Structure formats: C-alpha cells, structure tokens
Amino acid sequence: MNMLIPRIIPVLLVSKKGLVKTVQFKESKYVGDPINAVRIFNEQEADELAVLDIDATVEGREPDYRMIENLASECRMPLCYGGGIKTIAQAIKILGLGVEKVAFGSAAVDSPELMKGLSGQVGRQSVVVVIDAKKKFWGGGYDCYTHNGRKNRGISPFDLAKVAEDHGAGEVVVNSIDKDGMMTGYDLELIHNVRSQVNIPVTALGGAGSLDDLGRLISREQIIGAAAGSLFVFKGKYRAVLINYPSREDKRRLVAGIA
C-alpha cells in the first residue's frame, strides 16, 4: 500500500445545489458554484476530487443524478461522489455517469453487504466508505456519526473501518468532526489508529489549514490520500473565498514528505 503515490484531494460539500463549507458539521457557509470550482481544479490539475451531497441522506432522498452528471462531464480528474446512495442500482447508475468512485456513509453501517455486492460487480477500487468520527465526551475513544453528525451510530471508527474492508470497500476516508473547518491540523491519532486496523488505502479529512499540515500527515503516516475542504476554498486568516490548490512544485514537496 505504501508504494502508492499520495493524492491531494479537494472535498466539495454540496447543499441545495450550492458549494458550502461547514465548521464541525455546523455553520454551513455558501462559498460558490460547484461547477465553477470543478473548472478551477481542472486548471490546477488536482489529483482527484470528492463531492459530497450533505443533504441527500438527511432528507431521505435519492442522489441528484442531473447534478452528478453535470459535475462528471466537467471534471477532468478522477471523481468520487457520496450522498444518499442506498442501493447497488443507484451506485451503478452513478458510476455510469462518469464517476470513478462512490462513497457510502450511513449505508456502510446499515447495510454493509451492499458494499460487498457492489464491489463484486465493479471492483473494490470503486467503493469508498466515509467514516465521520467524533471524540466521546466521556471515557475516551471515538464514535461514528451519520446524517451530518446528528446520529451517533454506536460503533468506533476503528471497527467500522474493519467492517468496510471486510465487506469489499477499497478505501476508507477518515473524517474528524471535531476538526472539520477548524484549520488547526488533522487528528493524527485518529488517522493513525484507523490506518493500523486495515490494509486498504486510507484518506484523511478534517482540519487541514496549511500545506504544512498536509506535509506532516503524508510524512508521518505515509497516507494515501490527504483531503481537505477549507484549505482549498479559503485564503488567509479572514477566510476569503478563493478556490486554490498546491502548485506542481508544492505538490512534489508534499508527496516527498518534506513540506
């Protein structure tokens, strides 16, 4: 696994068809048009892009296939989509629109056999599980949440990562709710402990505020994916909205673990 080259991945949150950013899964702030962001990341040659519809599961609706098709047709890099996927048929439809990977959140807890069935048809490289983890108030450890951090699922991220691997997922994304939007650095303990549980690629999300944060993550964990939201949509201490991505030279330094 460590022979794979780390990917630096912008994560776009979509709500009501707009691009938003949250802080600890709250305080949703509109930051622009998703299609425009995709075009900018195309120009900046992003390694990969993840788009998460944060309304679909909460509202109990199907994925917005028209939106996904529009994003996929514009996107010139590998695209991962998550949000509202509950059946194999939905996932296959999304992959047929030009998306390379589909991400499961609540379905990975409720119906893990869904991932096994899908990976058997399309290969596990197209199956991703997003693990939204939050530190417990008492006693230490972490719990997994779904529905935008509103529903505690009573399972640890370490156990869920193992369930994901055992049921055909080819990658897990570990997202710290506590760190979301804070821009104070990743929860390296959480990432390290999840990574120690599985033999599939792990992508880290939540907390990146600088290229140094990405560099520390990559060099310390030999992580496969360094993902971020705020870092790639805001600039400066006042968080002016500016879609951005590391230059080629910065990316080379990050991947070399010398940022």
The reported pLDDT for the residue numbered 3 is 54
Q: Which of 157, 162, 97, 92 is nearest to 127 (CA)?
A: 92
Q: How many residues does the structure list for the chain?
A: 259
Alpha-carbon span 70 to 17, nearest angstrom:
12
Query: Which CA distances in Å does 156 have to 26, 114, 145, 197, 224?
Result: 22, 20, 9, 12, 21
- What are 252's two structure tokens? 């080379």
pLDDT tens per residue across span 58-77: 999 999 999 999 999 999 99
The reported pLDDT for the residue numbered 2 is 46
pLDDT tens per residue across span 194-240: 999 999 999 999 999 999 999 999 999 888 899 999 999 998 877 89
The reported pLDDT for the residue numbered 40 is 97
The reported pLDDT for the residue numbered 238 is 77
- Distant-in-sequence, close-in-space partners of 228: CB < 8 Å, separation ≥ 6: 9, 10, 11, 205, 208, 214
* Residue carrying structure tokens 């991400």: 103
Q: Which residues are tagged catalytic?
A: 132
- Distant-in-sequence, close-in-space partners of 240: CB < 8 Å, separation ≥ 6: 234
Q: Which of 172, 65, 53 is nearest to 115 (CA)?
A: 172
The reported pLDDT for the residue numbered 1 is 42
Alpha-carbon span 169 to 167, nearest angstrom:
6
Ranges of residues in the chain whose predicted pLDDT is under 50: 1-2, 259
Alpha-carbon span 133 to 131, nearest angstrom:
6
Total-model pTM: 0.95
Q: Which domains does the chain show, CATH number per domain?
A: 7-255 (3.20.20.70)
Alpha-carbon span 89 to 69, nearest angstrom:
16
